[in-house]
Amino acid sequence: MRVAAVLWLAAAICYVLLVPPVKVASPANASAYFSEAEIARIEGAAPYRNASFYCAAARTAVTLLLLLGSAFWFGRRIQKLTSDSNLRSFLLFFTIVYWLLFIVRLPIDYADGVVLESQWGFLRMGGGEWFWHRLKSSLVSFCGGLVVVTLVGLFMLHIKRWWLPTAAVSVVFSFVVAFFAPLVIAPLFARFRPLKDEKLATRLLSIAKKAHIHTDRVLVCDASSRYTHTNAYFSGIFSTRRIVLYDTLLENHPSDEVEVVVAHEAGHARHHHILKGLLLGAIVLFAFWATVAALVGWLTKKGVISVQEPRVLAFVALCAIALSLLVAPLENYLSRRCEAQADLEALRLTNNPNAFIRAEKRLALHNLSALNPNGLRYLWFATHPTPLERIGMAEAFKAGKIH
C-alpha cells in the first residue's frame, strides 16, 4: 500500500502542476444578455436537465449494483460457468458480465437517449437507428475490452506483481486510443467532410495557424442526422489532431461565432490539454492499479476473492467507478480551468468578445443549458464553466481586466 500512497502523492503533485493559471470568471448578469422570455425558456427546461441527470444517476447505480453482485454474490455462479481459472474463463466471465450490463442498462439508455431527447425536440433519428448506434458503440468497447482483459488476465495468472505490467498496458492503450480514435473509431459513428465554405475555411485555418496547430483542413460532422444539438470538438494527439464542427453549428451560427468556437478548440490544442490529461492519467492509472492490487491481496488473505478468479475483473471495474466518483470534483475543477484557458485563448486569437458572447448565448438557448446550476451538481458534474461564467470571461477581456 506504500507504493500506492507514493503514486497517489505523485498524481496529486502532477495535478497541481497541470492546473492552468487562468481562473473561471465570475458570472455575468443574466438579464444583461438574456430577455425575460429567454430566461423563462431556459428555466422551463429544468425538467429536461433533471431527467437527464436522474438517468445518469440511475445508470451509475445499476452498474455499481451489478458489478457488486458480479464480484461478491451471483458472480460465483457466473464463475462456475467459466470452468477453471485460465485465460478463457476470464474472457468468458468478462463477456457475460459486459453484455448483462448492456441489457440491464438499455431501458435507462433508451429513456435518456430516445424518449427524453424526442420530447424536447433534439432527436432526429428513429429508435431503430439509435439502437444500432448504441449497439455499435458497445461492440467497439467490447472489442477493446477483450484486448485489455486478455493481457490483464495473463498478467494476473502468471506474474506476481501483475499490477505493474497491467498499469503499463493501460497507459499505452489510452495513448493508442487517443491517437487512432479520430481515424478508426469516429468514422464508425459519423461522416466527416472538409468544410466547403472556402472563405470561412481559410479564416479558420488562419486561426489554427496563429495557435501553432499544423492542420490543412477543418472537418464537418453530420451531427444533424442524429440530433439538433450544436457543438464542436478537438480530438487526437500528435499527427491525428483535428478540429471538428457539427454541421448544426454551421446552420445556426454566423461565421464570426463559428470562428470563436473554433478558436476555443484551437486553444485546447495550443495548450496540449489532451496530452496533459493523458500524462496525468498515466500516473493515476499506476496509482489505481497499485491500490487495486493491495485491496485484492487483502481480500485474498480474508478468503473473499482471489486474483486467480475471473470475478476479480468485476471488482476492478467496481473500484474504477468508485474512484471516478470520488475524484469527479477534482477532475471537473481541472476541466473547467482548462476550458477557461481555452476561452481566453479564443478571445486572444479572434479579439472579438462580442461574437464570443453572442455564441455563448446562442449555444445556451439552443442546447437549453442551465445558466446557474446548483452547487453540488456544478461541483460534481460540471465539466465546463456555465454560460454566464464564460460571458463573464468575455466581459473581463473586453474591459481590459484580463489579456
Extended strands (E) in 237-295: 242-246
**Domain spans, the chain:** 2-398
For residue 258, the model assigns a pLDDT of 93
Nearest to residue 138, comparing CAs of 90, 170, 93, 104? 104
Count, residues in the chain: 403
Q: Sheet of 192-194: strands edge to edge?
A: 192-194, 219-221, 242-246, 232-235
What are the grid coordinates assigned to 47, written together? 425538467
For residue 363, the model assigns a pLDDT of 92
Q: Residues 294-319: what's their mean pLDDT?
A: 90
pLDDT band at residue 240 using 50, 70 and 90 as cut-offs: confident
Q: Residues 246-255: what's their mean pLDDT?
A: 92
Least confident of 78-82, 202-206, 365-369: 78-82
For residue 273, give the 3-state DSSP assignment. Answer: helix
For residue 152, give the 3-state DSSP assignment. Answer: helix
Residue 193 pLDDT exceeds 70: yes
Q: How many CB atoms lie within 10 A of CB 362?
A: 17
For residue 370, the model assigns a pLDDT of 92
CA atoms in the 13 A half-sphere facing the CB of 46: 9
Nearest to residue 198, comparing CAs of 187, 209, 206? 206
For residue 25, the model assigns a pLDDT of 93
Percent of the chain with pLDDT over 70: 99
For 181, 344, 346, 390, the CA distances from 339, given in Å and listed in that order, are 22, 9, 10, 9
Nearest to residue 269, comparing CAs of 249, 240, 231? 240
pLDDT in tens, 97-123: 999 999 999 999 999 999 999 999 999
Least confident of 73-87, 133-147, 178-192: 73-87
Residue 286 pLDDT exceeds 70: yes
Residue 124 pLDDT exceeds 80: yes
CA dist 249 and 221 (Å) reads 10
CA dist 95 and 143 (Å) reads 10
Residue 332 pLDDT exceeds 70: yes
Residue with cell 493491495: 294
pLDDT in tens, 318-330: 999 999 999 999 9
Q: How many CB atoms lie within 10 A of CB 287?
A: 22
For residue 84, the model assigns a pLDDT of 64
pLDDT in tens, 12-21: 999 999 999 9
| Between residues 232 and 52, the one the model is more confident about | 52
Nearest to residue 33, comparing CAs of 350, 364, 300, 276? 364
For residue 234, give the 3-state DSSP assignment. Answer: strand
For residue 76, the model assigns a pLDDT of 80
Residue 210 pLDDT exceeds 90: no
Residue 287 contacts residue 7 (beta carbons within 8 Å): yes
